[in-house]
Amino acid sequence: MMNSVIKETDSQPMLAVKQITRRFGGLVAVNEVSFDVHNQEIFGLIGPNGAGKTTLFNLITGLIEPSSGQIFAQSQLISQLKPHQIAAKGIARTFQNIRLFGELSALENVIVGRHLHAKSNFITGILGLPQANQAEKKAKQKAQELIELVGLGDRLLEKAKNLSYGDQRRLEIARALALEPSILLLDEPAAGMNPNEKQVLSKFIRDLRTQFNLTIILIEHHVPLVMGLCDRIAVLNFGKLIALGQPEIVRNDPAVIEAYLGVD
Amino acid sequence: MDISLLLQNFLNGLSIGSIYAIFALGYTLIFSILGIINFAHGALFTLGAYFTYALMGEAFGFNGLLANLQLPIKLPFFLALLIGSTLAGFVGVVIEYIAFRPLRKRKADPLLTVVSSLGVALIIVNLIQYLVGAESYTFPSNTYGNLPAAINFGSSDKPIPIRTVQIVIFVVCGSILSLLTYAINFSRFGKAMRAVAEDQVTASLLGINTNLFIVSTFFISSFLAGLAGTLVGSSVSISGPYLGITFGLKGLAVIVLGGLGSIPGAVLGGLIIGITEAFVPADYSAYKDAVAFSILLMMLLIKPEGLLGRRFIQKV
Amino acid sequence: MVNLFNDYAPLIISMILGALLGISLYLPLMTGQLSLASPGFYAVGGYVAAIFSTKIFLTSGLYPWYLLLLEMAVAALISTLLGLVVGIPVLRLRGIYLAIATIAFVEVLRIFSLNLEITGGAVGIFGIPQPFNNTLEYLWVVLPLLIISSIILYRLENIRVGKAFIAIREDELAAEAMGIDPTHYKVLAFTLGAILAGVSGVIAAHFLNTWNARQGTFDASIIYLTSVLIGGTRTFVGPILGGMMFTALPEILRSLANIPNLPLWLVGFLKDGRLIIFGVLIVIGTLFFPQGLVTPDLFNNFSKLMRTGLNKVRLKKI
């Protein structure tokens, strides 16, 4: 059930991260990070390895609980919700180490993404009641559209585990889109791609934003990609936010340069 | 409740608890090294009892393929105990080679190995039944040589008799546990074993022959199982090939209570369950077995990592 | 011909009951959970039937079919409640912890049934009345049950709920990120399995005429687990075939033992070493058939073969 899906109003940002901290025993993985993400912004999250970027994603999507701090999706507090509840609020994600349903076909993977939008339960589904059948049909249709959108139309029925790496990444995005999210979190979507593919991906992400009115947050290692694509960038290092702003400003920030290149 | 009865119960509990501890120790060693529950452990427990019984020159019954089997040797108890447990240890190694190693080689899901161990348990237990039948056997009454049946620890007007059997059990269990604790914590071998338990890949990169340690762990674990089985068999009786099955299931309760993979946890868990069982009032003795399983269920629901275990954090 | 059928009727009914228990284990397995709880619910169902028919509704002659249905309904209800009560806390556990918890659950049930008066203690309950004149007529109950279960499972794999099950099995974390509530679906699968096991227990109790604590044991769990694992874990056909095969295995071995001119030790082995063979099959199964014998690929290839084969026949006729 997609209830209380978040929508931006003039007063509230789409996503507000407030003083989020997460400790693992003695290690502080995320340290009092705060930032806002605005409607239909493409927001970049960068930083050296181990800076806490994926942990931050996991906090936003409810996979782990914050040690302190809060996260708001528009005015709604989401930091105490479970992952499936957060998905129901319209926040979808892809994973750093692709997590597809290997034994299911590409199409079925995306159909699973339609779970929240298809109105059928165990009884209505088994009995094949018209309402349920309709829902299943529509889910399949929508899934097919999305698969074609990401260019996997000819590999619909391939098992996800048999797809090439690049195709798997695209499939994961299609599956996330199936949720009809308002916010899309992409964790290193360009990993393993050559420069050409990265260009294509960049354009693709921009098109997604316009086509689906998405707010996009992405973690990425390839700095030029991020600089060219994002409206604003946040830089993490050792769990702390060390810079936040437009690409040109962040690029020249001494703290950022030091974090990536070290001090001479 | 008078002191003597209390003490009796406590000592009974301690005695059976230390056997649980020894048994659970073997279980937990394998879990800590391989992350699996070896269900064949209970079968090895049974095997040890049968081996020792045979080594003492006792006769088997007239059922089964090897009816009336009686070995032409008659070893004293402690020697038979050692050899019988060692034989059990070797069987454990064989199991590792045939059933578990191939699965590890192809990085199979650990649950598959657990299932395979169930199969191995079935094979062993039913092979015993097939070969020597399903009757129960008792060890001869002079098992412990010339020691009296009980030793009085109190005074003459307030006697506190303790069965010799229990003393034997204490001594054996205590020495083995001390030996193991010393070996694991202070010897080079033990340190290497803990390294392998912690992280196999890194350990092998450091030049530790992980396979050797895995095999050694299986040997030690199976030795302990056989030892525990012999102690139970000799102190109570060998009730049949299925002796180890209930024990095996209780062993699960012990290690979950103590914490999967934790060595002190196995000891603590064993003692707690042993003593708790001993204090079940006589009217409810049939429910004794339920004690262990209820504790198990409670632990799983409240604190699955056990009293001394560590919580696993899944990396996304 | 009819005589032959009648001779084998008990075996056929047993095989179908075995298939049903296989399916009851398969349902939680669809969500990736190794639950060995089915024999527990099976035992409870059997006791419901036993108690109802020997202590509550005492009838003479054939046991009326509507009372049988009542027993099935009550067993289904109790299984649902017990399934929820046990399932919700226990299904928070993963992997081996879950398996252990379900083993413990079955053991606790077994110990209680061994000791309570109402379940007849260690001796169990005897003289459970028959609802049918001859064994073959049990097909009236078990066959529809099997067919309905098969249809449900076939459809399940194609609808939203079934896909949620499989998604959870494949990657629970990712499934959750897609809005699937894992606890809800895991409990659903677990409870469905429990209901099937409970209802099967009702039928089995009448079929076997007696019921006792040996009906739901850890041993039974292993045997059904084996049949599912060897039969096939990725499609519902696997557990059905596996359940049937493993129920029939003792009979097959027994008839093999009657082949003339076999060495004596082999004959004895075939007769008494049945469980050893089980064990060997389990070990071999995990080594060579991790997904079981009947895999979805096998199934797809088979039906593809059937379809193209039929097409060829049609073309020829023209």
Per cent of chain B over pLDDT 70 is: 90
Residue A99 Cα, gap to closest chain C Cα (Å): 6
Taken in order B124, C97, B316, A98, is the CA torsion positive or negative? positive
Q: Do A24 and B316 touch (CB under 8 A)?
A: no
Angle between helices B110-132 and C264-272 (to 10 degrees): 120
pLDDT band at B148 (very low <50, low <70, confident <90, very high): low
Contact B293/C at CB under 8 A = yes
Give B30-46 pLDDT, tens digit per residue: 888 887 889 899 999 99
Give the model confidence (pLDDT) of B238-251 as tens digits: 878 888 887 888 88
- Domain spans in chain A, listed from the N-terminal domain onward: 1-90+220-264
Domains and CATH numbers, chain C: 2-317 (1.10.3470)
CA distances from A119 to A92, A137, C175 (A): 19, 11, 17
Write down the ipTM of this complex: 0.89
Q: Which residues contact C82 (CB under 8 A, 6 or more apart)?
A: C41, C44, C194
Q: Quote the pLDDT of residue C84.
A: 94
| Strand, helix or coil for residue C2 | helix
Instruction: Name the DSSP class of C129.
Output: P
Mean pLDDT within C164-189? 94
Neighbours of chain A (3+ CB pairs under 8 A): B, C
Quick check: helix, strand or coil at residue A41?
A: coil
pLDDT value of position B138: 80
Q: What does the alpha-carbon distance between residue A125 and residue A130 come to, in Å, rounded to a whole number? A: 9
pLDDT at A163: 92
Task: Write out chain A residues lying below 8 Å of C158, CB-based.
Answer: 136
Query: In B, residues 119-148, which contact C (CB 8 Å cutoff)?
Result: 119-127, 129-130
Question: Is B123 within 8 Å of C280 when comparing Cβ atoms?
Answer: yes
In sequence order, the β-bridge partners of residue A22 are: A30
Q: Which residue of B has its CA nearest to A56?
A: B316
**Three-state SS for A153?**
helix
Which residue, C153, C148, C186, is CA-closest to C167? Answer: C186
- Order of all β-strands in the sheet with A240-245: A91-93, A183-187, A215-219, A42-46, A232-237, A240-245
Question: C103 pLDDT exceeds 60?
Answer: yes
Encode pLDDT of C241-285 as tens digits: 888 988 888 888 777 777 777 777 777 777 777 788 888 888 888
Contact between residue C68 and residue C206 where contact means Cβ atoms under 8 Å apart = yes
- Domain of B18, CATH number, reads 1.10.3470
For chain C positions 208-267, those within 8 Å of chain A (CB to CB) are: 234
pLDDT greater than 70 at residue C17: yes
CA-to-CA distance for B254 and B265, rounded, in angstroms? 8
DSSP 8-state assignment for residue A105: B
Which of these, B10, B11, B15, B53, lies nearest to B173 by C-alpha position? B15
The predicted pLDDT at position A210 comes to 93
For chain C, say whether B184 makes contact (Cβ under 8 Å): no
Residues pairing with C47 in the sheet: none
> For residue B149, is it within any domain?
no
The answer to whether residue B256 neighbours chain C at the CB level (below 8 Å) is: yes
Q: For residue C299, is pLDDT > 70?
A: no
Of B28, B198, B114, B99, the residue nearest C95 (C-alpha)? B114
Question: Is the CB of A58 less than 8 angstroms away from the CB of B313?
Answer: no
pTM (predicted TM-score): 0.86
Closest-CA distance, A243 to chain C, in angstroms, reads 29
Q: What is the pLDDT of residue C111?
A: 85
Residue B315 lies in a domain: no
Burial class (CB in 10 A: 0-12, 13-18, 19+), A136: buried
Quick one: pLDDT band at residue C318, thresholds 50, 70, 90? very low
Q: What average pLDDT does the segment B108-115 reach?
A: 79
- Would you call C163 and A61 a contact, using CB atoms and an 8 Å cutoff? no
In this predicted structure, the answer to whether residue C176 has a pLDDT above a threshold of 70 is: yes
SS3 state at C116 = coil
> What confidence category does residue B310 fall into, taking pLDDT thresholds of 50, 70 and 90?
low
Q: Give me B315's structure tokens.
A: 């990396």
CB atoms A101 and C174 under 8 Å: yes
Into how many domains does chain B fold?
Answer: 1
Residue B12 near residue B278, CB atoms below 8 Å: yes
Residues of B in contact with A63 (CB under 8 A): 316
pLDDT interval class at C297 (50, 70, 90)? low
Contacts of C234 in chain A (CB under 8 A): 103
Residue B58 structural domain: 3-142+161-302
Residue percentage of chain C with pLDDT more than 70: 89
Contacts of B316 in chain A (CB under 8 A): 54, 58, 63, 95-96
Q: What b/e sequence results for B192-222 when a residue is b if at least 16 CB atoms lie within 10 Å of its CB, and e otherwise? A: bbbbbbeebeebeeeebebeebbbbbbbbbb
Do β-strands B150-152 and A42-46 pair in parallel, antiparallel, or remain unpaired?
A: unpaired
Q: How large is the average pLDDT for residues C225-245?
A: 84
The pLDDT tens digits of the residues spanning B168-219 come to 788 888 888 888 888 878 888 778 877 877 777 787 788 778 888 889 889 9
Q: Nearest-CA neighbor of C229 among C216, C214, C218, C245?
A: C245
pLDDT of residue B316: 47
B150 in C contact zone (CB under 8 Å): no
Please indicate whether residue B136 or residue C49 has the higher confidence score (pLDDT).
C49
What pLDDT was estimated at residue B232? 87
pLDDT of residue C290 exceeding 80: no
Residue B150: φ, ψ to 5°: -150, 155
d(CA C177, CA A62): 9
Q: What's the rounded Cα separation, in Å, for the pair A98 and B260?
A: 31
CA distance A103 to chain C (A): 7
Fold entry, domain A1-90+220-264: Rossmann fold (3.40.50)
Contact with chain A for residue C12, Cβ under 8 A: no
CA distance C139 to A82: 47
Q: What is the DSSP string of chain B?
A: --HHHHHHHHHHHHHHHHHHHHHHHHHHHHHHHHS---TTHHHHHHHHHHHHHHHTTPBP-S-STTTT-B-S----HHHHHHHHHHHHHHHHHHHIIIIIHHHHHTT--HHHHHHHHHHHHHHHHHHHHHHH-S--B---TTTTTT--SEEE-S-SSS--EEEHHHHHHHHHHHHHHHHHHHHHHHSHHHHHHHHHHH-HHHHHHTT--HHHHHHHHHHHHHHHHHHHHHHHHHHT-B--TTHHHHHHHHHHHHHHHH-TT-HHHHHHHHHHHHHHHHTS-GGGGGGHHHHHHHHHHHHHHH-TTTTT--------
C134: confidence class by pLDDT, cuts 50, 70, 90: confident
pLDDT for residue B315: 47
Taken in order B231, B236, B239, B242, the sign of the CA dihedral is negative
- Is residue B268 situated within a structural domain? yes
Check: CB of residue B132 under 8 Å from CB of residue B240: no
Shortest alpha-carbon distance between residue C102 and chain B (Å): 9
Give the neighbours of chain B: at least 3 Cβ pairs within 8 Å.
A, C
Q: Cβ distance B292 to B57 under 8 Å?
A: no
pLDDT digits 0-9 by tens, B246-293: 788 888 889 888 888 788 888 889 999 998 988 888 777 777 888 888
Pair of tokens at residue A224: 């030029």
User: How far apart are alpha carbons B45 and B47 in whole angstroms?
Assistant: 5
- Residue bearing tokens 């226990």: C90
Whether A139 sits inside 8 A of C160 (CB atoms) is yes
Summarize pLDDT for C27-48 with one digit per residue, the tens.
999 998 888 899 999 999 999 9
Residues of B in contact with A54 (CB under 8 A): 316
- pLDDT-based confidence at residue C20 (cuts at 50, 70, 90): very high
CA distance A98 to A175: 12
Contact C178 A115 (CB under 8 A): yes
User: Cβ contacts of residue C150 below 8 Å, gap of 6+?
Assistant: C23, C236, C240
* Interface contact B297-C103, CB threshold 8 A: no
Q: Chain B: residue nearest A25 by CA?
A: B313
Which residues of C touch chain B, with CB atoms under 8 Å apart?
34, 89-90, 93, 95-97, 99-101, 103-105, 107-108, 111-112, 114-115, 173, 218-219, 222, 225-226, 229, 265, 268-269, 272-273, 275-276, 278-283, 285-287, 290
- Asked whether residue C301 carries a pLDDT value surpassing 70, the answer given is no
Give me the pLDDT at residue C216, please.
64
Q: What residues of chain A score a pLDDT lower than 70? A: 1-11, 261-264
Contact A239, A51 (CB under 8 A): yes
